[in-house]
Each structure stands twice: as C-alpha cells, then as structure tokens.
Amino acid sequence: MKHIFRSILMSLAVLAYAVVLPTASATPASAADYLSSVPTSDFTTYCQAHGYATAKLVVDNAYGWRCASSDGQEATFSVTAVCREVTVKDNEPTILDFLYDFTRTDNLAWECYRLSQIAPLGRLDVNRYCQSQGYDRGVLVGGNTALNWECQSPNYSVNLNSVDILTNACASMYPSTLGTVRARVVDFFDPNAIDCMV
C-alpha cells in the first residue's frame, strides 16, 4: 500500500512540475524597451553606407539632419532605419525610432526602442485624457505641435510639453499587461500624431 501511495505522490509531483514550470519560467513580452539613444555619428555612418559623403545638420532641430553628397545634394533619411542598421544593428520591424526632444540636435534627440508589437495601442486622445484626470478639456496653447497641449480647468492647468508627460498619459489611457507603454510622437508638427506603443 505504501508503495502505491508513493507512486501516486511521485506521479502528481511530476505532473505539477510539468504544468507549473513553463508558467513560472515564462516571462512576459518586454514592451517599449529602451535600447539606446542615437548618436549623431550614427547618422554619418548610415549616410556613408548609402553612398553619401556625410550627415549634415541643415535645420536646428531633431528633424534637421540630412545625408549630403560631395556635390552638395541632400536627402532626408529615416531615423528608424538608422536605429535598425547602425545603432542597434537589428533589422526587426519591432525596432522603431522615438523622438525624445525636438529642440535638440545632439545625441539626446532620438532614441531606439524594441516594441512587443508594431501596431500602436491607439492614438492619444488628449482631450479625453485631460477629462479623465479631472480637467475640463485639453487645448493647444502657444503653437500647433504635439507638445503644445495643456489640460485646462478654470482654476488650474497642466502642460503636456514633454514626451515623458505624454508617456504618462498613454499609460493612463492604454494600460497594458505586456509592460511599459510609451508615447511615440509620429509627427511633431501634427498635434494629433501621438501613438501609444507597447
């Protein structure tokens, strides 16, 4: 009888181990994982790999970089392509550029992230976000860009004037079990082009 009981206990232990171990060892997909800032020297490396002489700053903002040929021709380029080909050296479609600070032209203007999915969770509805936080409305103040939003009420207001603040708004509007949600400014000059990514 003892032998049968021990065999049953051993079988149950093996079954429990087989069921619990994969669950315990499985880690959730890492979401919106920061990989690196993009050094401006990577722009030059990317441009030279595509037949240009160098990278050149032609406008004093994060969008101002161009590939330049020795005869003076200039061409725009994708910072996502720079992330994939040079900075991270991984051509996965889940690696995207994230604008961090439009006013900068240095190594802190752009970042590379690895996402758990390519499709955004949704666009950030700033007005809806502001109302969910107890404000009356979201309005554009002092410009018409992605970082000119302000949550307003008669007696108080708060500026949404950084990517970090927009990221907090995205996390509030699109909570995800996949991990960290991050705001991606798709077009700085379009105040509604803010994707919430995971």
Alpha carbon distance 88, 81 (integer Å): 10
Residue 179: what pLDDT?
87
Residue 129: what pLDDT?
98
Query: Model confidence at 72, in pLDDT bands (50, 70, 90)?
Result: very high
Residue 29: what pLDDT?
46
Query: Model confidence at 32, in pLDDT bands (50, 70, 90)?
Result: confident
Query: Model confidence at 25, in pLDDT bands (50, 70, 90)?
Result: very low
pLDDT per residue over 143-159, tens digit each? 999 999 999 999 999 99
Contact 47, 54 (CB under 8 A): yes
Domain positions in the chain are: 28-118, 119-198
Contact 116, 123 (CB under 8 A): no
pTM of the model: 0.82
